[in-house]
Structure 1
Amino acid sequence: MSASLTLPAPAKLNRMLHIVGRRDDGYHELQTLFQIIDLSDSLTLTLREDGNIHLSTPLDGVACEDNLIVRAARLLQRHANTTQGATLAIDKRLPMGGGLGGGSSNAATVLAGLNKLWQLGLSSEALAKLGLELGADVPVFIHGHSAWAEGVGEKLTTVTLDTPWFVIIHPAVSVSTPRVFQDPELTRDSRPITMARALQGGASEWRNDCEAVVKKRYPQVAEALDWLARYAPSRLTGTGGCLFATFESEKAARTVAELAGQRWPAWAARGLNTSPLQDALGC
């Protein structure tokens, strides 16, 4: 096996997000549809025999000890009781605080990649359970499929979604997820629905319960949502600040993304049902 792996860490969209309750521990009960998209960061993991975990590409404003990819590597190292180490490098393309799951996806790629590089042989289920200690979205990236999710987002059922083209806009604002979930105006009592009903209802009935609060607290997001809605129905992903709209053709998506790019960072991306990480690892 090569002593180095370069792997994608793809983004996700929440095609819908309903908040159906609040737990005693302060976390919220969710129902959501995750879809992987072909927009991603890239990570290179290189084997070290000295046992050290070294981040060669630190992020401005983020201490190495707090970086999720370092935390993921050390968590796996402790769990497996291995003396192997790794040098971690990231080519960061996904915006931080954008609701695209970039940090969780980075952590998942490190867990899955080091599991292979270190030849640990852990199952996806074991890695997903471990990843949940780092964040509620990590398991969906470990399993690498479009999924219906409940609980805090960790109870996953694989689904097959349509795979349109998306225009994604990041309105140059980082939305605080804790701030959104602590907001007294947040809807927390949506009526639970079944997975079958959610899939049958389709995009015309999907919504994001965080959107109203985010639009009110972050005017930049509201402005971008209104702009994108001129071309297709737009929606927040996760707690934002990224937002998206669906398009039937690559040409239409790229045309609108180019127009959006004159005001904000914007991308055209294709929806996927299987993560490119699974393909890269041969899963």
Structure 2
Amino acid sequence: MKAIYDLPAPAKLNLFLHITGQRDDGYHLLQSVFMLIDWCDMLHVELRRDGQLSREDLTTELPADDLILRAARALQAFASPGQGAHISVAKHVPAQAGMGGGSSDAATCLLALNRLWGLNLPLSRLAHIGLKLGADVPFFLGGRNAWVEGIGEEITPVTLPSARFAVVKPPEGLDTRLIFSASDLQRATPVAIISGFAADSESLEATNLGNPVFDFGHNDLQPVAQRLCPAVTDAIEWLGAQGLKARMTGSGSSVFAKMPQAPQEAELLEAPEGWQVRQCSNLEVHPLLGWAT
């Protein structure tokens, strides 16, 4: 195998994000549901036999040493001498958006090079490598929508109803570290349980409850983000003016809202200049699910 092309790296939305405490080492304890969506970056990997790692940016210019190259270097420690790779990246998911784009790229890179180099490392080993790169990487490696706890390492797959969402990214981004270090961040939301989330789509359909999973909880990071970045409020209000109930995903600055089921009600107004707006569907599973055992 000399090359693998068209490898998707999907973004995620946090249906809610609760901060339930903080560890002595400073890491925050969270609860969230991570949901995969069809807004994707695309990676291509080609084998190099000189042991070098290189990256080519096909769309947006990325930092010189990003999570993709860091993931490749971490995995290369398990490869045979002389095995390298050239990685081409078509970046579409915006940065500093709370959508996990960089972590998803790293996960897709690990899955792809594990196959390109014939390493056959199990998913558990890849997840161990991924956690050192970022707390969200193991989720993308796991390949399923999930209830996430701890600092992001406790992952329980959940089933979600199919739905469409309006996702809005204003021009401004947000630094996650600024939000988590804020003195006014809520850090004591009561612990929830999966049964309270009620993520079984079959039972929802059977009881005609609609999709209450998409209204569960809140995002504890949102008030701080709105203070630091007024554009988050602008995006929420823009969707609200169209009858959509919006909240922020992750640490922002992107916000999202569930779209109506009727196609004729799904048209959005023209967005302000510089905003990225997409209608996205959630994914049942990651497109590369099963690439590691």
TM-score in terms of structure 1 length: 0.92
Q: How does 1:128-277 map to 2 (within 5 A)?
A: 128-199=127-198, 202-230=213-241, 231-249=243-261, 251=263, 255-256=267-268, 259-260=270-271, 264-277=275-288
Contact kept? 1:166, 1:253, Cα under 8 Å: no
Contact kept? 1:99, 1:237, Cα under 8 Å: yes
Separation (CA, whole Å) in 2 of partners of 1:155 and 1:270: 25
Secondary structure class of the residue paired with 1:190: coil
Rate the CA distance shift 1:249–1:6 in 2: closer, same or farther, 3 A: same
Rate the CA distance shift 1:80–1:127 in 2: closer, same or farther, 3 A: same
Correspondence for 1:62: 63
Correspondence for 2:126: 127
Contact kept? 1:38, 1:276, Cα under 8 Å: no
Contact kept? 2:79, 2:117, Cα under 8 Å: no
Letter in 1 for 2:222: E
Contact kept? 2:78, 2:119, Cα under 8 Å: no
Correspondence for 2:6: 6
Separation (CA, whole Å) in 2 of partners of 1:76 and 1:252: 48
Cα deviation, 1:194-216, whole Å, max 9, x if unaligned, reads 11112366233321110111111
Separation (CA, whole Å) in 1 of partners of 2:26 and 2:228: 21
Stretches of structure 2 that go unaligned for 5 or more consecutive residues are 200-211
Secondary structure class of the residue paired with 2:16: strand
Q: CA deviation at 1:262?
A: 5.7
Contact kept? 2:15, 2:216, Cα under 8 Å: no
Identity fraction in percent: 39
Correspondence for 2:31: 31
Secondary structure class of the residue paired with 2:115: helix
TM-score in terms of structure 2 length: 0.89
Contact kept? 1:41, 1:91, Cα under 8 Å: yes
Separation (CA, whole Å) in 1 of partners of 2:31 and 2:113: 31
Cα deviation, 1:81-117, whole Å, max 9, x if unaligned, reads 6531000110010101101100000000000000011
Secondary structure class of the residue paired with 2:82: coil
Secondary structure class of the residue paired with 2:89: strand
Separation (CA, whole Å) in 2 of partners of 1:202 and 1:4: 37
Separation (CA, whole Å) in 1 of partners of 2:99 and 2:40: 10
Cα deviation, 1:46-105, whole Å, max 9, x if unaligned, reads 011111001122864722xx2110000000001446531000110010101101100000
Aligned residues: 279
Q: CA deviation at 1:19?
A: 0.3
Stretches of structure 1 that go unaligned for 5 or more consecutive residues are none
Cα deviation, 1:100-149, whole Å, max 9, x if unaligned, reads 10000000000000001111111111111110000000001101100000
Correspondence for 1:73: 72
Contact kept? 1:11, 1:105, Cα under 8 Å: yes
Letter in 2 for 1:202: V
Separation (CA, whole Å) in 2 of partners of 1:269 and 1:135: 25
Contact kept? 1:161, 1:273, Cα under 8 Å: yes
Rate the CA distance shift 1:253–1:189 in 2: closer, same or farther, 3 A: farther
Q: CA deviation at 1:266?
A: 0.5
Contact kept? 1:5, 1:117, Cα under 8 Å: no
Q: CA deviation at 1:255?
A: 1.3
Correspondence for 2:204: none
